[in-house]
Amino acid sequence: MVAPELDHLLRGVGVGAEASLQMQAASAVGALRCDKLHLDRKSLVTVWVRVTEAPESGDNAEVATILEKAMKYKDEGNDLYREKCPERALGRYKKASRALRRAQNRKASGATHADASLTATEASVYLNIAACRLNLEEPDLKGVVAACERVLAIDDKSVKARFRRGTALGRMGRTREALDDFVAAAKLDPSNKEAIREANRLKQLAEKESKEQSK
């Protein structure tokens, strides 16, 4: 049967009674071999579907294990970032990204549920990598841009990726590119006052630079 802590976790993330009973049945026949999953709601349900639908796939089970490890590294990075240790947090996020690459290499062909979990987690990890690189004692601005572009390749509507890339581009003196990112962020999230403020500031700066260049 499903361990009590897993049953509690499932209900806590909104998995209904019917799904919980299905998981207990799957566990009873050995289809579910995970009694602890330290994942977000989407990943948790995805891993359950993948393991129970394809219990014979060793690749899928290995992907679930690697994904759990990646989430552990990510959580450790989050704790370090909250403690204002961006350099140490960055190290944990890099470990998470390496684990995710291993999972991508090992996932079974056609495992669409695994794809969804991996890409969502990858986007989250690279957003955090960008935040760390922005807050290093010597910010790695090119690294911020690269990390955000990884995110935008997965989700081109990511407001945080637009905002962080725009911040890095602005500091690099690439005013018009930064302006484009903040305008996009403000359109995606009209309630984002910081994005609107930065867009207005950069618009004025771009106009000033344009006038100076035309002299």
Q: Domains of the chain, with CATH numbers?
A: 1-36 (no CATH), 40-155 (1.25.40), 158-215 (1.25.40.10)
Does pTM top 0.85 for this prediction? no
Rounded CA gap, 38 and 192, in Å? 31
Q: Are 168 and 144 in contact (CB under 8 A)?
A: yes
Using the structure block, give the residue that is written with the tokens 């690099």: 172
Rounded CA gap, 200 and 181, in Å? 12
| pLDDT of 89 | 98
| pLDDT of 155 | 95
| pLDDT of 202 | 97
| pLDDT of 110 | 52
Low-confidence ranges of the chain (pLDDT < 70): 1-59, 108-114
- Scanning 107-192, the segments in alpha helix (DSSP H) are 112-134, 141-154, 159-171, 175-188
Number of Cβ atoms within 10 Å of the Cβ of 186: 22
| pLDDT of 84 | 96
